[in-house]
Amino acid sequence: MKQMREMFIYTSPLWLLLIATICAMPPPPPLQCSQIGCIFYSSYGAWGDRKDCHVPNVTYPATQEEVRQAVAYANRNKLKLRVVSKFSHSIPKLACPTSVSDDAFLISSAKYDSGIHVDTENLAVTADAGVGLRELIDKVEEAGLSLVAAPYWEGVSVGGLISTGAHGSSWWGKEGAVHDHLIALTLVVPAPASEGYAKIITLQAKDPLFNAAKLSLGLLGVISKVTLSVERGFKRSVTYNFTSDEEFEEELMEHARKYEFGDITWYPSKHKAVYRYDDRVPINVSGNGVYDFIGFQSTSILISKSIRAAEKTMESTRNVKGKCIVAATSVGSKQLVANGLKNGLIFTGYPVVGPQAKIQTSGSCLYSPTFDVTATCPWDPRIDGLFFYETTAIFPAPKFADFIRDVRKLRDQNPDNFCGVDIYNGFLIRFIKASGAYLGQSEDSVVVDFNYYRASEASTPRLNQDLWEEVEQMAFFKHGAKPHWAKNRNVAFLGVQRKYPRFSKFVAAKKQLDPENMFSSEWTDEIVFGKEAAKGEDQGCALEGLCICSQDRHCSPEKGYFCQQGLVYKEARVCRYSQSTDFEF
């Protein structure tokens, strides 16, 4: 009966109308402005610290000269300045200029997005920083060329993806991270009054500042243009092998060497590993397949909401078995539809062969047709859909297998406790080649991503959160992984400077280009430079990954979560549920 009533509510025209008026179905713009300024969100509708970002003034330059004027304006008026793209898809609060004063200014690159110049002769493409990855790739492919590296998610700007070290998966050539395909980079940086308060500089490989600027989190200046190298157009041939997870960590390096674009997904609760066999093939091989990753497809609002509602119920009733059923269904359906690979309209069999542009990166939910008011990206903040954390740890390759062996020990104690990550995408394991960028990977690396439930209220502890915390601490503190700059909870960034052997070179470049620290904020100071956050209320701070617990009050003793040591990594301090409180009843 209740279900019927809910069905009725969901399908009633009134409800649809309501949704239609609050959302044009593509993702919401990150900036919401009124007379008194703007509030600014990440694409998930929340920052790591959950606090809003207020900015008194935003500008939308459309040309490089307008970017220069904006930087000059901020410099002349001594304002803190940060940049954000039209997507705002980074998770840490790096793009927020400051919360404590009105002396802040934000540049949005949303309207600086038209210039794309493909240089077929020199195999290069130059784009304005606000250009979206999809437009860039399509223009390159129209000219018969291919961009080799890109993140799997296409909802990013060229400036944003370079700035955060976005990557796909490859150890071949110079592949892996996009910034290693940079030929040149144009920055707008502050200048003395005599030079008009701001100037435009172009850096190339031979320039000593190039390795600092390649991946610079918007800390050196505003990127206005990037030039990337491209190759003759090619296709890819992809097969997934859903198989046992036995000893996959021993085969992983071999897999990376054998397949140019290989990756592996591990579903620990299901004892499954999924090998992606993925190589380039000549452009004349037949096949017009696409990879429309299932997690990035437009999803019915009804489905997203009910998944979230079910997840919430399982959380509050501590229903691990329920999560395992969902995980089994989810992994099973991914196998059936090959994760979203399509030979044509649908998946009909392996291998799927398609053009590089259609295989490397996807995000069809970004273009949810506006007439279809019933579907969005599943995490759309307007619909009370999925809400999750995303941990991304980058390991020096030789250390990665030890990490997996540790996670395995934890898994073997009770595999069902890992169903919570398998509902999402398990552990996605990818490869990044060594880079010259000071804030990039100085050696060939292995990256793991995993997502897990995030509660709607910060004070609500989560089922098995002790495990995700232990895995997080194992990765970052036991095995020396580095956090992806655009993902993760704040704890992952503790001591990050010490993990980058060339960090001081980056700092020197910043002193040179941004001597007044115009492009720094409380968050860049905290996340990138390791300055201790202003100590506010630290009650429950470990729940949201704002601290590592050392006392029970950092967890949630009133809800039965106490600060305890790790099960496998004894040095870990995690918030664990303990039934002892139940005895009081």
Ligand X SMILES: Cc1cc2nc3c(=O)[nH]c(=O)nc-3n(C[C@H](O)[C@H](O)[C@H](O)COP(=O)(O)OP(=O)(O)OC[C@H]3O[C@@H](n4cnc5c(N)ncnc54)[C@H](O)[C@@H]3O)c2cc1C
Catalog residues that contact ligand X under the rule CB under 6 A: 43, 82-85, 87-90, 94-95, 109, 129, 151-153, 156-157, 159-161, 163-164, 166-167, 217-218, 222-223, 486
**Nearer to ligand NAG by C-beta: 243 or 348?**
243
Contact partner, 274, from ligand X, ligand NAG, none, Cβ < 5-8 Å per class? none
Question: Cβ closer to ligand NAG: 194 or 284?
Answer: 284
Residue among 30 and 540 whose Cβ is closer to ligand X: 30
Using the rule CB under 6 A, is 275 a contact of ligand NAG?
A: yes
To ligand NAG, the closest distance from the beta carbon of 257 in angstroms equals 14
* Residue 486 binding result from ligand X, ligand NAG, none, given CB thresholds of 5 to 8 Å by partner type: ligand X
CB of 246 to ligand NAG, least distance (A): 8
Residue 397 identity: A
3-state helix, strand, coil in the chain (%, to 5): 35, 25, 40
**In angstroms, what is the minimal distance from the CB of 523 to ligand X?**
9
Find tokens 């901020």 and name the residue. Answer: 74
The reply on whether position 32 binds ligand NAG by CB under 6 A is no
Per CB under 6 A, which region of 155-163, 277-285, 543-551, 569-577 contacts ligand NAG? Answer: 277-285
| Position among 11, 32, 101, 243 found at the interface with ligand NAG (CB under 6 A) | 243
Contacting residues for 554 by C-beta, under 8 A, at least 6 apart: 538, 539, 540, 541, 542, 547, 548, 563, 575
Short-list 565, 566, 561, 555, CA closest to 576: 561
CB of 220 to ligand NAG, least distance (A): 21
Using CB positions, name the residue nearest to ligand X: 160
Residue 155: CB minimum distance to ligand X, A: 7
User: Contact at 8 Å (CB) between 55 and 398?
Assistant: no
How near is the Cβ of 487 to ligand X at its closest, in Å?
6
User: Which CB sits closer to ligand X, 53 or 410?
Assistant: 53
Segment near ligand NAG (CB under 6 A), from 156-164, 282-290, 324-332, 561-569?
A: 282-290
Task: Determine the Cα–Cα distance for residues 148 and 137; give it in Å rounded to an integer.
Answer: 10
Angle between helices 320-336 and 301-316 (to 10 degrees): 150
Q: How far is the CB of 115 from ligand X (least distance, A)?
A: 13
Choice from 73, 172, 477, 503 touching ligand NAG (CB under 6 A): 73
Q: Which does 431 bind (CB under 5 to 8 A by kind): ligand NAG, ligand X, none?
A: none
Out of ligand NAG, ligand X, none, which partner does residue 161 contact, by CB within 5 to 8 A per kind?
A: ligand X
Q: Specify burial of residue 171 (Cβ count, 10 A radius: 0-12, 13-18, 19+).
A: buried
Question: CB under 5 to 8 A by kind: which of ligand NAG, ligand X, none does 95 bind?
Answer: ligand X
Which of residues 135 and 231 has its CB atom nearest to ligand NAG in the complex?
231
Is there binding between residue 284 and ligand NAG (CB under 6 A)? yes
- Strand 145-146 versus strand 263-267 pairing type: unpaired
Is residue 288 at the binding interface for ligand NAG, with CB under 6 A as the rule?
Answer: no
Q: Site residues for ligand NAG, window 43-72 (CB under 6 A)? A: 57, 59, 70
Q: Tokens at residue 335, please?
A: 């196998």
Q: Contact at 8 Å (CB) between 129 and 223?
A: yes
**Shortest spacing between CB 150 and ligand X, in angstroms:** 8
Q: Rank residues 396 and 461 by Cβ distance to ligand X and give the closer one.
A: 396
In the bound complex, what is the minimum distance in angstroms from residue 536's beta carbon to ligand X? 23
Number of H helices, E strands in the chain: 15, 27
CB 325 within 8 A of CB 331: no
Residue 135 CA to residue 122 CA, distance in Å, equals 20
Smallest gap from Cβ 436 to ligand X, in A, equals 18
Instruction: Compute how many other C-beta atoms are within 10 angstroms of the C-beta atom of residue 530.
Output: 14
On whether the CB atoms of residues 45 and 376 are closer than 8 A, the answer is no
CB of 383 closer than 8 Å to CB of 376: yes
Helix or strand holding residue 38 (H, E):
strand 37-40
Per CB under 6 A, does 34 bind ligand NAG? Answer: no
Among ligand X, ligand NAG, none, residue 268 binds (CB under 5-8 Å by kind):
none
Q: Which stretch binds ligand NAG (CB under 6 A): 257-265, 280-288, 388-396, 507-515?
A: 280-288
φ, ψ (nearest 5 deg) of residue 15: -65, -45
Residue 241 interacts with ligand NAG (CB under 6 A)?
yes
Distances (CA, A) of 276 to 132, 169, 172, 292, 393: 26, 11, 15, 15, 20
Sole residue written with tokens 């104690």: 413
The nearest distance, CB 400 to ligand NAG, in angstroms, is 17
Among ligand NAG, ligand X, none, what binds residue 243 when CB lies within 5 to 8 Å by partner kind?
ligand NAG
Report long-range pairs for 53-56 (Cβ below 8 Å, ≥24 apart).
53/93, 53/95, 53/96, 53/99, 54/99, 55/96, 55/97, 55/104, 55/105, 55/106, 56/102, 56/104, 56/105
Binding to ligand NAG, residues 112-141 (CB under 6 A): none
C-alpha span between 179 and 524 (Å, rounded): 20
- Tell me the closest approach of the beta carbon of residue 456 to ligand X, in angstroms: 19
Return the amino acid letter for 439: L
- Residue with smaller CB distance to ligand X, 166 or 383: 166
Q: Which of 7, 9, 33, 285 binds ligand NAG (CB under 6 A)?
A: 285
CA 375/CA 207 separation, integer angstroms: 47
Task: Considering the complex, state which of residue 282 and residue 349 has its C-beta at the smaller distance from ligand NAG.
Answer: 282
445, 368 contact by CB (below 8 A): no
Number of neighbours of residue 219 by Cβ within 10 angstroms: 25
| 360 touches 230 (CB < 8 A) | no
Which structure tokens are listed for 568?
């496998």
Nearest approach, Cβ of residue 125 and ligand NAG (Å): 24
Other beta carbons within 10 angstroms of residue 389's beta carbon come to 23
483's contact among ligand NAG, ligand X, none, with CB below 5 to 8 A by partner kind, is: none
The residue ranges that bind ligand NAG (CB under 6 A) are 57, 59, 70, 73, 241, 243, 275, 282, 284-285
